[in-house]
Amino acid sequence: MTKTKKQYYSLRSYFTYISTFKFRVIFLILIYSAANVLLAIIPLFIGKLVGELASAQSDPGQVRLYVGILIACSGLHLITFHTAELVYRKIIIKPVYGYEKILFNATILKPYPYFIDKFTGKISAYITTLAQEFRTFMDAVFYSYTTEVVRMVTIIGILFSVNVYTGLIFAFGLFCMLIVGRKTIKNSNKYEKIATNVSSTKSGFVVDAISNFANVKSFSKEVWESENISRRVNQSAKAGSDSFLWNIVFWSSIGFFVRLFIWPAVIILNVWLFNHNQISIAELITLLSILLLFSDFIWGTIWNISQFNLRFARIEEAYTYLFGKTNIVKEHLDSQEEQESQIDFEKELTINNLSFAYPDKPDSAVLSMSLNIQKGEKIGLVGKSGSGKSTFAKLLLGYYPLDTGVLSLDNQAITTKDISRLVSFVPQDTSLFHRSIADNISYATSSSVTRKQIINAAKLAHADDFICEIDETYDALVGERGVKLSGGQRQRIAIARAILKDSPILILDEATSALDSESEKHIQQALKELMKNRTSIVIAHRLSTIAHLDRIVVLEKGKIVEQGTHKELLKKSGTYARLWSHQSGGFLED
């Protein structure tokens, strides 16, 4: 059986992004490399200095030279290292933080079903994890990985130049450390991925409970939620403990090779060589100084390797959960080259043989629907719950791609994403951002708007009066999902938002259902003004709100069963007439 090559999708994304500023990275690595070479060669000149001082024919000039070299190496290392830090601040920090923009962009551009199937809290936690880990990774590239590689290569190079046997001992010891480390790291990664998944799922439940605090309070479920989180914390602790156990195995196995192989072998060999006059005192001091330097930073190297692998397990788990096998950086770079097409609506929107089924429901929610809507025409969609009204609206809003059928605008085929840019939408239940009222009203606009335009839109939606009664008025925060406002107030904010967007197509999904009678009277007039010269699609359970429209389309089980004016449909004595006669208090009976 052919072994499948493992793909590291998160690292592929990292390196693709780093390639966008690779010359800056290479330049900085060279500066850090120079700083570390200056530090790594110090033991060589310490050995030469001690050897010269111990020599019977000591040359004062040589002593001064070695002292000068040591001082110069130390000073230049300090200057070079801090120069590298300043360069890092100047040319690297900004692009490093830029990766978080791509993470959010790649997530927010995911289709509507993506967010339905995943925990919001888990998505948020993983975006934060990936952004933080990328910054940590880039810091480590310069401060840790470059340091360890350059010092290791320099040290082994010096060892081979002074004494080839010592160089071989170091090289063999490092090779054994890598072999053992690879095995233990593999097991550690396995459990770290489990720990990351359990922890992020726990975060998802935490966010879910807090964001739905009203439900928690309504059903007195505080204790139940606490116990649920407690169970998941215990699961996180168990998974973290398993990962930590293999981390201990990693550290102890590496420590075994350093303390019980490399140190004794180097010391015994070089003392024996010195006693047999095969190396000088200068070479012995050089080798022992290098051993001390190696011992000083090898634990840092081991720590960095250990942490990289633990982090990599978290990174890979988070990345594949959010993006699967997709290279989001490549997609981002490719999308920047694409120009968004300009879509204009001049005459007619045509829907031809449209069918759609939800991914988790094989039965079509919309079946073979065909409809022509003229520019400026006002269409009412009616039908019992589950007839396909809201699904049709979601398709026009770009929530889902079409299964079959064609959307055309002025005889030009378009996608649901194209048409969604031309639509203003007022839903039945409005959820607002935890931002200011002004921010929520202006959210749908693509360009900056003035405070005057925002206030005018609010006045048309009859929202200005209640806004002005709130402390901080238009700058007041509305709370999570707009919880500080009543349902009717949130609805009026949504209407103001649609007014301000000023799109050629308007979709109203029971837009006045949450309003009291007095407010509804005013807003119906505002909506009437808003709908002038706009193509409007109005979804309604209360048939009296759509009786005046140009055309009423009746849906049943995802199909169009009737269409015409209110009077025409009543004369047919069909489905619409039956719905009209069965109304109770103005609403459809299901």
- pLDDT for 37-46, tens place per residue? 888 888 778 7
CA 156 to centroid of chain Cα atoms: 42
The strands making up 366-374's β-sheet, listed across from edge to edge, are: 366-374, 348-356, 404-409, 412-414
Q: Does the pLDDT of residue 353 top 60, yes or no?
A: yes
Q: What is the pLDDT of residue 522?
A: 66
pLDDT in tens, 180-233: 766 666 666 677 677 777 776 777 777 777 767 666 766 566 777 787 778 877
User: What's the pLDDT tens digit per position in 63-120?
Assistant: 888 889 888 888 888 888 888 888 888 888 888 888 888 888 888 888 777 787 777 7
- Return the half-sphere exposure (C-beta side, CA atoms, 13 A cut-off) of residue 188: 22
Give me the pLDDT at residue 156, please. Answer: 77
| pLDDT attached to residue 584 | 46
What percent of the chain is modeled with pLDDT above 90?
1
Give the pLDDT band (50/70/90) at residue 299: low
Q: How far lies 407's CA from each of 365, 414, 415, 468, 478, in Å?
A: 17, 6, 7, 43, 37
Q: What is the CA radius of gyration of the chain?
A: 35
Inform me whether the pLDDT recorded for 1 exceeds 50.
no
Cα(63)–Cα(46) distance, integer angstroms: 10
pLDDT value, residue 173: 76
Asked whether the beta carbons of 383 and 509 are under 8 A apart, the reply is: no
The highest-confidence range among 22-31, 381-390, 480-489, 516-525, by mean pLDDT, is 22-31
Q: What confidence category does residue 586 fall into, taking pLDDT thresholds of 50, 70 and 90?
A: very low
CATH number of the 9-325 domain:
1.20.1560.10
Alpha-carbon span 319 to 126, nearest angstrom: 8
Average pLDDT over residues 156-175: 77
Structurally, what CATH architecture does the domain formed by 348-581 represent? 3-Layer(aba) Sandwich (3.40)
Q: Where are the domains of the chain?
A: 9-325, 348-581
CB neighbour list of residue 150: distance below 8 Å, 6 or more residues apart: 32, 33, 36, 37, 40
At 364 the pLDDT is: 63
Q: Residue 538: which of 374, 404, 427 has the closest Cα?
A: 427
In this predicted structure, what is the pLDDT of residue 217? 66
- Asked whether the predicted pLDDT for residue 250 surpasses 50, the reply is yes
**412-414 vs 404-409, strand pairing mode:** antiparallel
Q: Residue 134: name the closest of 303, 251, 21 by CA.
A: 21
pLDDT digits (tens, 9 = 90+) for 407-420: 777 777 777 777 77
Q: Give 436 or 188, the one with higher predicted confidence.
A: 436
| Model pLDDT for residues 8-62, shown as the tens digit of each residue | 788 888 888 888 888 998 999 899 888 888 888 887 787 778 777 777 677 788 8
284's tokens: 């012995």
Map residue 559 onto helix, strand or coil: strand
Whether the pTM exceeds 0.75: the reply is no
Q: Report which of 177, 179, 191, 316 is spatially closest to residue 247, judged by C-alpha positions.
A: 191
Residues 251-263 have pLDDT tens digits of: 777 777 777 777 7
| Residue 219, amino acid | F
For position 351, what pLDDT does the model report?
A: 81
Strand partners, 407: 351, 414
What pLDDT was estimated at residue 590?
46
Q: Are 124 and 205 in contact (CB under 8 A)?
A: no
Instruction: Please give the torsion angle defined by the CA atoms of residues 510, 512, 517 and 520, in that order, rounded to the nearest 10 degrees.
Output: -140
Quote the mean pLDDT of the chain. 78
Tens digits of per-residue pLDDT, 337-350?
555 566 777 788 88
**DSSP calls for 472-489:** TGGG-B--TBTTTS-HHH
